[in-house]
Amino acid sequence: MAQEGAPKLSVRGLWKVFGHESTGGIVPDEIANKSKEDMREDDGAVLALKDVSFDVNEGETFVVMGLSGSGKSTLVRTLVRLIEPSYGQIIVDGDDILQYSEKELVDFRRRKTSMVFQHFGLLPHRSVLENAAWGLEVQNIPKAKRLQIARETLDLVGLSGWEDYRPGALSGGMQQRVGLARAIAADADILLMDEPFSGLDPLIRRDMQGELIRLQEHLHKTLIFITHDLAEALKLGTHIAIMRDGVVIQIGTGEEILEAPADDYVAEFVQDVRRTTVVTVRTIMDQPDLKLRQSTTPAVAMREMGQAGVVSAFVCDEEDHYLGMVSFNGAAEAKQRGDATIADAITVDEYPTLPADTSVESALPVVLEHHNEGALAVTDEEGVLVGTLLPSSVVGAMAQEAQDATDHREASAASLEASHADDQEEADGDGDSEAVDPREGMEVS
Ligand SMILES: Nc1ncnc2c1ncn2[C@@H]1O[C@H](COP(=O)(O)OP(=O)(O)OP(=O)(O)O)[C@@H](O)[C@H]1O
Ligand SMILES: [Mg+2]
C-alpha cells in the first residue's frame, strides 16, 4: 500500500533506448554518457527517455509537454509497460510495477489505469454505449451493470441520446467525449491521455479542455496529460514537465515555469504567453495591515486600528479563517451598544474574497468593481486569509505586462530593422562592386 502523503506515482531514473535489449539494473556508463546523436550513429539505437524522474500526486493533473519526438508518448506508454523501459523504477501506490508478473500487470492495466488516445481508439462496429462500457467489459463487470454505468458516464460528458449510434456518426469532439467516458467509466485511479485533443478544431478543443477541467473538479482522478501545446498545458496542469530529446528539463507549476524558465528552450516556449493569465494573485498580494480576531473587544479593535492608522481591518476566527471586515465606525458603534466583541460589527457583503489561485487577469474586473473598498481579502482553499490585494497591484501587473509586450515588439522591430540594414548594406556593397569598372586597374593589353 502507498504511504500516507506519498505520491500516487513516482518515476525514478527512467530510461528507454529503442534498439537495445531491456536489461534493467544500473545504467551502464557507456549509455549514461552518450548523446542521442552518438548513440544513433554508433548502432542505430534511439535514446527516447534519458534519466526521467518525477512525482505525480493523487488527484492532480500532471502535464508532460514537449515538441514532436521529445519522448512524450514513449514516456506515457512505459508508465503502463506497453513499452518496456530499459532502466529505472515506476512506483504506483508503493509498488514497483516493473517487478509485476504478467498477471499482475494485466490487472494493473485494466483496473488502475485508463488511456485516452489522440485518435480516440473507439471500436467502430460497436455502439457508443458499448464503447463507453468497454473498460468495464474487460474487467468482467456483468452486462447490465456495465451498461448502466456507461449510460451514466455518457450523460456526464453530455452524450445522452447518442448511446445507440456508431462512433462514426459522431463528430470528432463527440467521439473524444466517448473516449473520455470510456476512460472515466472504467473507474481507474490513473488516467493517461496522449494528446487527446490535438486532432480537434481549435474551438472544439477549447470546449474539451473546459469539459476536462469541469469533470476533473468532481472526479479528482490522477491525470497524466500529454500535449505539445503550452497554452493547453498551462490551462490544465497543476504541474508541468517539459521534455526535450528524452530529457525532462523543467518541472513546476505553470507560474513557476513562466517566472523562471530553466533554459533558453523553455524561455522560447513561454515568451508569447501573457503572464497575467497564469500568474496568480498570490504572487502580487500583500500582507494585511491589521488582522483582528472576532473575539476582540470593540475598544481594543479601535485602539489597534488607530495605532495602525487604518479605518478598517480584516477579521478572522481563531484558525485564521476569513470572516469579513470591521470598520472603525462599526467598532465604535459596537462599543456604544456595549457589545463584548466585534463579532456583530463584521460586514461581509461588499467585500468579496479572492481565491489565492485566481489569475491576475481574472482578478481585474473584481478589484475594479470594488476599488472603493480598498484591499480585498485573498483566501486559500480552506478559507484562511493568506493576504490582501490592492487594486493598484493588479492594475500595476497588467500595465507592466503591456509595457513588456511593447518593449518586446519594439526590440523585435529594431532587430528586424537592423537586419534589413545589414541586407541593404550587403546589397549596396554588391552594387558598389558592380559599379566599379571591372577593367579599372587592369592593364589594358
Ligand atoms: N518503436 C520505436 N522504435 C524506435 N524508435 C522509436 C520508437 N518509438 C519512438 N521512437 C523514437 O523515440 C523518440 C521519441 O518518440 P515519441 O513518439 O515518444 O515522441 P513524442 O514526444 O510522443 O512525439 P509526437 O509529439 O510526435 O507524438 C523519437 O526519436 C522516435 O523516433
Ligand atoms: Mg506522441
- The per-residue DSSP string of 272-321 comes to TS-GGGTSBHHHH-B--S-EEETTS-HHHHHHHHHHHT-SEEEEE-TT-B
Mean pLDDT of 83-99: 94
- pLDDT bracket for residue 327 (50, 70, 90): very high
Domains located in the chain, CATH noted: 9-112+188-273 (3.40.50.300), 282-393 (3.10.580.10)
Mean pLDDT, the chain, integer: 87
Q: Is the CB of 127 within 6 Å of ligand 1?
A: no
- Work out which ligand 1 atom sits closest to the CA atom of 246: 14
Strand 312-316 relative to strand 322-327: parallel, antiparallel, unpaired?
antiparallel
Question: From the CA of 209, how far away is ligand 2's center (Å)?
Answer: 19
CA–CA distance from 62 to each of 192, 212, 340 (Å)? Answer: 10, 13, 50
One-letter amino acid at 235 equals K
Mean pLDDT of 58-65: 96
Among 221, 259, 249, 225, residue whose Cα is nearest residue 239: 225
CA 22 to chain centre: 32
Q: Do 83 and 70 form a contact (C-beta atoms < 8 A)?
A: no
- pLDDT bracket for residue 439 (50, 70, 90): very low
Q: Is the CB of 290 within 6 Å of ligand 1?
A: no
Lowest mean pLDDT of 191-200, 252-261, 399-408, 422-431, name the range: 422-431
Residue with the larger pLDDT of the pair 353 and 295: 295
Smallest CA separation from ligand 1 atom 26, residue? 68
Residue 435 reports pLDDT greater than 60:
no
Instruction: Tell me what pLDDT residue 120 has.
Output: 79
Residue 431 reports pLDDT greater than 60:
no
- pLDDT bracket for residue 423 (50, 70, 90): low
Instruction: Tell me what pLDDT residue 152 has.
Output: 93
Global pTM value: 0.76
Choose one of 15, 73, 224 to mutate for the ligand 1 pocket test, by most ligand atoms within 8 angstroms of C-beta. 73
Instruction: Tell me what pLDDT residue 10 has.
Output: 97
Q: Is the CB of 70 within 6 Å of ligand 1?
A: yes
Ligand closest in space to the Cα of 47: 1
- pLDDT bracket for residue 428 (50, 70, 90): low
Q: Is the CB of 228 within 6 Å of ligand 1?
A: yes
How many percent of the chain have pLDDT more than 90? Answer: 53
- Work out which ligand 1 atom sits closest to the CA atom of 46: 5
CA–CA distance from 197 to each of 175, 179, 394 (Å)? Answer: 11, 11, 33
Instruction: Tell me what pLDDT residue 406 has.
Output: 81
- Work out which ligand 1 atom sits closest to the CA atom of 118: 27
Instruction: Tell me what pLDDT residue 437 has.
Output: 39
pLDDT 10s digits, 5-20: 789 999 999 999 998 8
φ, ψ for residue 376 (rounded to 5)?
-100, 155
Q: Do 64 and 225 form a contact (C-beta atoms < 8 A)?
A: yes
Question: From the CA of 326, how far away is ligand 1's center (Å)?
Answer: 60
CA 424 to chain centre: 45
Question: From the CA of 270, how far away is ligand 1's center (Å)?
Answer: 24
Residue ranges with CB less than 5 Å from ion ligand 2: 73
Mean pLDDT of 296-312: 93
Q: Is the CB of 68 within 6 Å of ligand 1?
A: yes
Smallest CA separation from ligand 1 atom 1, residue? 18
Q: Which three cell numbers stand for residue 395?
A: 492594475
Mean pLDDT of 307-331: 92
**H-only helix segments in 101-201:** 102-111, 128-132, 134-137, 143-156, 172-185
Say which DSSP state 97 is in: G
Q: Which three cell numbers stand for residue 55?
A: 512525482
Quote the crossing angle between the two packed helices 328-337 and 298-308, to the nearest 10°. Answer: 160
Smallest CA separation from ligand 1 atom 6, residue? 18
Instruction: Tell me what pLDDT residue 237 has.
Output: 94
Among 251, 109, 72, residue whose Cα is nearest residue 190: 109
